[in-house]
A and B are shown apart, each in its own frame.
Chain A
Amino acid sequence: MSREPRLTIDWIACNGYGVCEAAAPDLIVLDDWGYPILPDGPIPPDLVPQARRAVNDCPMLALAWEGDGAPGGGRLGRLGGRR
């Protein structure tokens, strides 16, 4: 069964330095306080590479991948993310 890829975030872990926005500028914008605003729905196919970079670059392992095509990278702390 295939599942469309999505990003989830652990808000307690996120430090708000915005590394993810630098890694995925077309996918993630920062709010008034510097915290990432994630796309609502699934990650558009052409932005999957950026999303992978954001997950791999997040220093707090706050971003997680749900669905197909999870990045390898070895740094992915939380498989499947919250919930």
Chain B
Amino acid sequence: MSPTERLLAGPPLDGRAEPLASHRARLGELPTVPAAEMIAALEATGMLGRGGAGFPVGRKWRAIAEGSGRGTPVVVANGAEGEPESAKDRVLMAHRPHLVVDGALLAARTLGADRVELYVGREHSAAVQAVRAAVDERPAADRALLHVVEAPLGYVAGESTAVVHYVNAKDARPLATPPRMSERGVRNRPTLVQNVESLAQAALIARNGPDWFRERGRGANRGTALVTIAGPVRHEGVAEIDLGTPLAELVELAGGLTGTPQAVLIGGYFGTWARIEDAWDLPLEPESLKAAGLTFGCGLVRLLDARSCGVDYSARIMDFLAAGSAMQCGPCKYGLADLAGASGRVAAFGAKATDLIDIDRWTGLVTGRGACRHPDGAAQQMGTAMAVFADDFASHAARGRCLAEGISMGGRR
């Protein structure tokens, strides 16, 4: 692994959580930083949230510190990671639980919160265990703040209003959010919902300052980030990279190619597809990706081998996301199901004459028409797949023939 790791520095990632003694010996105690200074430091880093939406972390903390919400704030560390191919949050929590706990405590101290909910996906059993053990290792004063909540299964369970709803009422469906969560969230109090990686980064920023954070990274948005690389590379899994590292370099870091990728899905199942030749030299960094019409999302980098079918892959994702709808909002419930149906028929060579046109139309029609952004993400994945795999979709629909199967390795690049 790279010698430049920050979050993942320390003992090897061998499945064992770093104990508190080792964490303290390596990084020292979490320093006491005055609230105004801490928020200014976060703003100075320019760090964007790492849960997918990419909202500036400093601005979020400031909104709560200066907001008009009533009551003592609550901090929620979001470790749901419902994204099936992403592993960065579960790997972080399972191996560096104290960094996540430090980050959550830092947020609580900075915002004056008296409750921290550590919301960990229950399917990530190593992470659940590690976080529970880390809480037990903490002094009583900290333990009094820390509450571990096992997040239920489901893609939408990690959406921020679903998180608050579950913590409040054991119902992980998103809310229609009349008030902002920075004003009324958990127990109707001002609530910070922050991804576990974002919090772990904050714990290092408290120790080392914003200039140190910005020493790393090559693009507009700086620092390091956890990414998950999947597909035809020697070492699939989680890596910590400088933001702005080109995809080609990440592939090298992952031991090089073991196949011939034709395309890449960046950002998660609600992310964006790109042709491999368009993405190969792109800096993995939110601003640069945005300029290219792509999204950094949760840091998933999913290469698709030339022998695999992009139509089939994107249709399966669509099916997964349709099933993952919380079924509360019409366009999401029925629109995603119809998108899954149509793309599934195209993938299985049973397309109706209208399917391609309908997929195109429906991706536009579901966008922005739900209580949460689940349909937007699903449409983004489907829409970019239709563009990147345009020939494949057309061949599947019109000729009942898959282009991927007909292509010899290396024929695509």
Please give the residue numbers on chain A whose beta carbons come within 8 Å of chain B beta carbons, in ascending order: 10-14, 16, 31-35, 37, 78, 82-83
Contacts and interface: CB of A to CB of B under 8 A. Distances in A.
B330 A11 contact: yes
Contacts of B178: 78, 82-83
B125 interface: no
Interface in B357-375: 362, 365, 369-371
Given A32-B338, A83-B177, A10 B331 contact: no
B335 A11 contact: no
Given A31-B365, A32-B362, A83-B177, A12 B371 contact: yes
Q: Which of A11, A13, A35 has the most CB of B within 10 A?
A: A11
A33 B361 CA distance: 13
A33 B330 contact: yes
Chain B facing A: main interface SS? loop
Given A82-B178, A83-B177, A11 B365 contact: no
Contact of A14 (B177, B180, B330, B335): B330
B332 interface: yes
Contacts of A83: 177-178, 180
B33 interface: no
Contacts of B332: 11
A-B pairs, 6 with minimum CB distance: A11-B329, A33-B334, A35-B330, A12-B328, A16-B330, A12-B176
Interface string B302-344: 0000000000000000000000000011111011001000000
Contacts of A12: 175-176, 328-329, 371
Contacts of A31: 331, 335, 365
Chain A facing B: main interface SS: loop
A62 to B, nearest CB: 9
Given A31-B335, A82-B178, A83-B177, 15 more contacts: A11-B176, A12-B175, A12-B328, A13-B176, A16-B330, A32-B335, A33-B334, A33-B335, A33-B338, A35-B331, A35-B334, A82-B176, A82-B177, A83-B178, A83-B180
B256 to A, nearest CB: 46
A21 B330 CA distance: 16
A15 B264 CA distance: 38
11 contacts: A10-B176, A11-B329, A11-B330, A11-B331, A11-B369, A11-B371, A12-B175, A32-B335, A32-B338, A35-B334, A83-B178
A4 B148 CA distance: 46
A13 B334 CA distance: 15
A82 B372 CA distance: 12
Contacts of B369: 11, 35
Q: Which of A10, A12, A31, A83 has the most CB of B within 10 A?
A: A12
Nearest to B335: A33
